[in-house]
Structure 1
C-alpha cells in the first residue's frame, strides 16, 4: 500500500471524534526533524471530553464482547495502516531508533488483539452463581449471580518513555476499551505528533465500527490544571498513569481528595534489584556483568524495569563482575534521551548519587543537553542501608553495585527495599537454599520475580504482572501489562432474583 512520504500533524485535539483547536499553542521538541505546533489543552476541553465519554458509556458499557473485540482489532488494523508514518514521526520526536519503534508498534497491536481474544473467551467476567451445595435453594433463599461490570469513563495519561505501548492506544486505553469503559487520554507533550497519528487510527476504527464517538478523546498538552481537571472530574471513575513518582503521587492525592475518591492505577518508580548468589557469581561473573550492562543501557536506560541495582558478595568474583560491567558500559556510545528535561534529570540524579558519602565511581561519563552516557557506582551495604537516597530510581543508564559481606547482609538489603516492579536472582543449583530463603522476602517486595535473566523485557501475555507494592505502583493488586490489566476497570455486581429476561446477556 502506498503512503504519503511524511506526516504533518494538524496539532488539534480529538474530542469525541471532532478535531478542535485552541488558541494557545506549544511546540514539540524533536530529537531530530521538524518541530510542529500543537493546541494546548484546557479544563473546558476536559469537561467536554468527559461528558461525551459518559454519554458513550450508556451504550458502550453495555455492548457485547464481540462488538468491543472488533473495535480493538480495528484499532490494530488502523495503526498498522499508518505504520511507516508512525515510525517516522515517533523516531523524530523521541530519538528512539527505528527498530525500537517498530517493535513497540508490534507490541501495541499485539496487546489490542490479545485483549480482543481474551474478552471473547469471557473468563475475565468471573461469572459466579450460588449452588445447592453451598447455598441450598428454598422459597426463602434468593437466587444470586455475580459478574464483573465496567466502571465508567477512564482517564489515561500517556507515558514519556513508551510513545506507543503506554500512550494513546497503549495498554491502559486498550484494556479500558476491552472492559467497556470510554477513555479520555491526556497526551504526553514529549511526543504529541505520535499521539495525534495514533489518535487518528483510533477515531477511524471507532467510525468503521459504528461506535459512539465519545468512547475516545485526546487532549493534547496543557499545564498542570488540565491533568488536575481530568482526575477530579466527577464523571471519571478511575485513572491510569505511568510516570514519575512525584507527578504520580500528586495525582494520586487528588484522586483520594475527591468527594468521591476513585482508584488511581499509577506505575511510578522502581530500581529492580538483582541479587547475584555466590555459585552463579563464581561461575558466570563476566557473563552476568556484560548482560547487566546491556540491560542497563537498553533504550538509554529509559525503561521502568531497568535493573539499577546489583547486590553482590564482596570478593574476587564480585570484582570480576564489576569490571565486566564497567568495561561493557565504557564502550556504550551516547544515546538520545526522550526529552531535554529527562536528560537534565538524569544528570542531576547522577550528580546526587556521586556526591553521597561512601559512594565510589567506577565509571563517570559526561553527556550533553539531550544525550546520555552510562554511569556506574559502587557502595557497601552498610552505607547503602544507611541512606534511603541511594535506593531511589535514577531514570537512565545508571547502575549501582551494592557489596555485601555475608548472606545475612544480603538478606538485610532485600528486607530494606521498598516496593519494586521486579526482583531478579542470578543463581545456580548450589544457590537453591539461599534463593529459597530470599524468595519470601522478595515476593512481598516485587510484582515479578526472575531467575537468570534481565527484567527489561515485559511480555504481553496472560501471566504477566507489571506492578508491585508502593512506590512501584499505587495498587499492588493490579497489573498494567497483560490481560489481568482489564480487571482494573471492572467491579463485581451481584444480581439477586433477576429473571433471565432482565439479566445482562453474559449471565443469561
Structure 2
C-alpha cells in the first residue's frame, strides 16, 4: 500500500495545513519517509460536519448492512496484515510476529462486533404493550430501543498500534453502535495509522455508505485534540493514555455548553496477591510466570502485572529468585517512543527515592531508547507510609511488596486506587483469606483473576477492561469486549407509535428477528 501522508477526511485526501512530521524508528533513532500532514481546527470542523451529515443515514442502516460493513473492514485488515505489521514494526520497534497477531486480533474484533450487530441484542428492544382496559387509567403502547449517541472522536493508543489504534476496539464498537468516527491518529505510528484508515475508508465506499462515516486526522500538538473535544457536533470521546492527558480531555468535555461523555483508560498496576498456601506450594512457578508476563511488549501493556504482594514466609525466597532470574536474563529492548522511555527512567528514580530497593536488572541498553528490565522490592510498612510506591511505572519494571501478615496485606489492598484488573494466586487452603480480600478488590477493579495473570485478556462477551478512577473515568463501562458498544448508545422510548413509523427493531412482527423483552418476557418473535 502506498503511503501519501495525507489526512483522510471522508473520501478526500487532504494536504497539510499545519506543517508535517515523519515517523521515528525508535530502534535506530532515525526518521522514516514519507512526511505526514498535520492538520488543525479547520480539518476537525470539516470532518465533524461530514460525520454529522452521515449520522442519520448510517445509524438507520439495517443490522445486516452494518454487520456486512464491519466484516469488510475485517477482510481488509486481513489482506494487508503482513505489510501492516512490517511498517508498524519500523515505527514502534515491536516484533513483526507480535504485530501480525495484533492485526489478527483487530480483524477478529470487527467480526465479533459484526455478530453483535446481527444479533441485535445491543438495541435492548423492550415492549410494554398497550392496556386500553386498565383502570383507573389506560396504558398506551411503549417501546424502547437504544440508538447511537452521534459522531464520536477516538484517540488512537500508542502501546497497541493496531488492535487498539485506528482499527481497534473503540472504532469497532463505535461503528457497530451506529456512530460515525473521527479518528485522531497517534503520531508514534503515522504510517500504520494511514494504512488502517485506508482500509476502513475503502470499506465505507464498498458498502455504499456516506463518506462521513469515517475520517482520520492528525495534529502536531494539543490543539487538534482540544478541537475534537470542543466541537459541538462531536457527542462522545474515547482516550487511552496517561492520567494527565485523559483527565484534561475529560474536564474539558464537562466545560462545554453541552457536556459529553469521555471514556478514558488511563493507569493501572494490576496488583497480584500471592496468598500463603499458593506461595508455599508453587512460589517459584508464580514468580517466573509473573515476571514473564511483566516483560511482554517491553512492559508497555496496560494490563502488565506491575506489583506483586506476598506475605513473607515459606516459598517467598523461591518466588523472588525466580523473578530475579527472569529479569536478569532479559536483554534491553526498544521502547515505543522517546517520551515513554524518558518517563520510564524518571519513574525508576521515583521508586528508588521512595525507598524501593533494586534487586535485579536486565541487560544494559544498547540503543538510545532501549528499556532496561528492573525488579524492585520494598517492605509493606513502607508502602503504607508512601502511597506513591503503588503508582504505575510504564515499562519493564516490577515491584515486590514484602508483606508482614494478613492484616497488612488487606491494609495495602485498601490503599490501591482503581485498577483495570487484580489477581489472586491461591490454593484451597487460601480460600478463607481470599474471601476476605475479594470485596476489597471488587470495589477497586472491573476484572479479578484467579491463578493466572492480568495479561493477556480475552476479547469476549464477558470481558471487562475498566475500573474505578484512576483506571478509567467511568467504571460503568468497558473498552474491551462486546459490551464496549454500550458506551455509544442511549435509550429512546416510542409511545403510541403506529407500526409504520416504528424503527425496525420495534416493529410488531419483529422483521429482524432480534431478541426483545415483550411484556416482561424475552422472545425473538
Asked if these proteins are the same fold (TM beyond 0.5), I'd say: yes
Counting only pairs closer than 5 Å after superposition, residues 352-367 of structure 1 correspond to structure 2 as 352-357=350-355, 359-364=356-361, 366-367=364-365
Displacement of 1:137 after TM fit?
Answer: 8.0
Counting only pairs closer than 5 Å after superposition, residues 15-164 of structure 1 correspond to structure 2 as 15-23=9-17, 24-31=19-26, 32=28, 35-36=32-33, 37-130=35-128, 140-164=138-162
Counting only pairs closer than 5 Å after superposition, residues 227-266 of structure 1 correspond to structure 2 as 227-266=225-264
CA distance in structure 2 between the aligned counterparts of 1:304 and 1:442, rounded to whole angstroms: 18
CA distance in structure 1 between the aligned counterparts of 2:135 and 2:296, rounded to whole angstroms: 60
Contact map agreement 2:48 2:182 (CA 8 A) in 1: yes
Contact map agreement 1:26 1:221 (CA 8 A) in 2: no
Gap regions ≥5 residues in structure 1: 1-6
Write the deviation string for residues 17-69 of structure 1: whole angstroms up to 9, x where unpaired.
Answer: 11101141112112358612111121110010000000000200111111110
Equivalent position SS for 1:420:
coil
Displacement of 1:140 after TM fit?
Answer: 2.9
Is the counterpart of residue 10 in structure 1 residue 7 in structure 2?
Answer: no
CA distance in structure 1 between the aligned counterparts of 2:354 and 2:426, rounded to whole angstroms: 31
CA distance in structure 2 between the aligned counterparts of 1:74 and 1:310, rounded to whole angstroms: 43
Equivalent position SS for 1:91:
helix
CA distance in structure 2 between the aligned counterparts of 1:194 and 1:46, rounded to whole angstroms: 21
Normalized against structure 1, the TM-score is what? 0.96
Displacement of 1:364 after TM fit?
Answer: 4.0
Match of residue 211 from structure 1: 209
User: Deviating runs (4+, > 6 A) in structure 1?
Assistant: none
CA distance in structure 2 between the aligned counterparts of 1:475 and 1:182, rounded to whole angstroms: 22
Displacement of 1:80 after TM fit?
Answer: 1.4
Equivalent position SS for 1:72:
helix
Match of residue 393 from structure 1: 392
CA distance in structure 2 between the aligned counterparts of 1:77 and 1:187, rounded to whole angstroms: 21
Contact map agreement 2:173 2:485 (CA 8 A) in 1: yes
Contact map agreement 2:218 2:224 (CA 8 A) in 1: no
Displacement of 1:169 after TM fit?
Answer: 1.4
Greater alpha carbon shift after TM alignment, 30-39 vs 18-27: 30-39
CA distance in structure 2 between the aligned counterparts of 1:139 and 1:440, rounded to whole angstroms: 46
Contact map agreement 1:154 1:183 (CA 8 A) in 2: yes
CA distance in structure 2 between the aligned counterparts of 1:334 and 1:435, rounded to whole angstroms: 36
Alpha-carbon RMSD across the aligned residues, in angstroms, is 1.5
Contact map agreement 1:12 1:220 (CA 8 A) in 2: no
Match of residue 481 from structure 1: 480
CA distance in structure 2 between the aligned counterparts of 1:224 and 1:57, rounded to whole angstroms: 27
Match of residue 4 from structure 1: none
Is the counterpart of residue 170 in structure 1 residue 145 in structure 2?
Answer: no
Match of residue 282 from structure 1: 280
Write the deviation string for residues 398-454 of structure 1: whole angstroms up to 9, x where unpaired.
Answer: 100111111111111111110000000000011111111111110111111001111
Normalized against structure 2, the TM-score is what? 0.93
Counting only pairs closer than 5 Å after superposition, residues 374-393 of structure 1 correspond to structure 2 as 374-393=373-392
Displacement of 1:245 after TM fit?
Answer: 0.9
Equivalent position SS for 2:420:
strand
